[in-house]
A = this chain, B = another copy of it.
Amino acid sequence: MMRLGILNRLCRSAVFCSDWTVRDGVTTTMLTLVRNHHVPSDRFKDYGIPNASWNPDMMALYRRYMAWTEDGSWKRLPSYNRALRQDRDPESPNRLFTRNTDVEGSCFEYAMFLNASERRILCIFQPGPLLEGPPCHTHGGAIFTLLDGVAGTCAYATMGPVLTANVNVNFQSPVPLGSTVLIEARIERVVDRKIFMSCLITSGISPKVHVDGSMLFIKCLGSGPANGK
């Protein structure tokens, strides 16, 4: 496993250094610093589960994908508010960008589901009112932020520590605030240390495409796959 100092220097994007690993089919939660800059929270609160702000479409999709986890092929990933693997600085005000508030429904509401053998990830996402870009619609940056996180998580989970090298995305239609969207990313091919991924964001209730594109991650030198394969 890479030392944190090395990871600090190499990492370029968001969530490839996540809070869990998949080893021998078992998802293991790593020691994680949980800190809320605004409101005190549990140190190890898992934000990737439903709360009162979730709309009926989010709940329906959550139940659908939770059903997929029953045979072990898919796993819901826990989601914390800091990506540190070690609780080295409990006084740090730093928080993961996508989990930087405890006000339910205000920013990023999401849950991720991983199929490690298919090298594929799904994420259901409900953007809150503090993510506005165009009036009453989600900021393109907020959409990109979660897309980067979801794809990076998939790459990390299956290939080990990675860094984002390139992102090429097309914005096809706006995402209304409060709606439910489905983010999907998968590893298309691996060439040496290069991990080529595709990504797609659609409406959670129809095939309407919001965003499509591709991403390139680079596997960090000397790191093994997170799933031990």
Pick from B12, B103, B132: contact of A174, CB below 8 A. Answer: B12
- Residues of B near A149 (CB, < 8 A) are 139, 141
How big is the A interface, by class?
A: 35 or more
A50 at the interface (CB under 8 A from B): no
State whether A173 touches B12 (Cβ < 8 A): yes
B168 touches A168 (CB 8 A): yes
Within 8 A of B (CB), among A80-137: 82-84, 92-98, 100, 103, 106-107, 129-137
Kindly list chain B residues whose C-beta atoms are within 8 Å of the C-beta of A84. Answer: 135
Q: Which residues of A contact B (CB under 8 A)?
A: 4, 7-9, 11-17, 37-38, 82-84, 92-98, 100, 103, 106-107, 129-137, 139-142, 144-149, 163-174, 177
A128→B119 CA distance, assembly (Å): 33
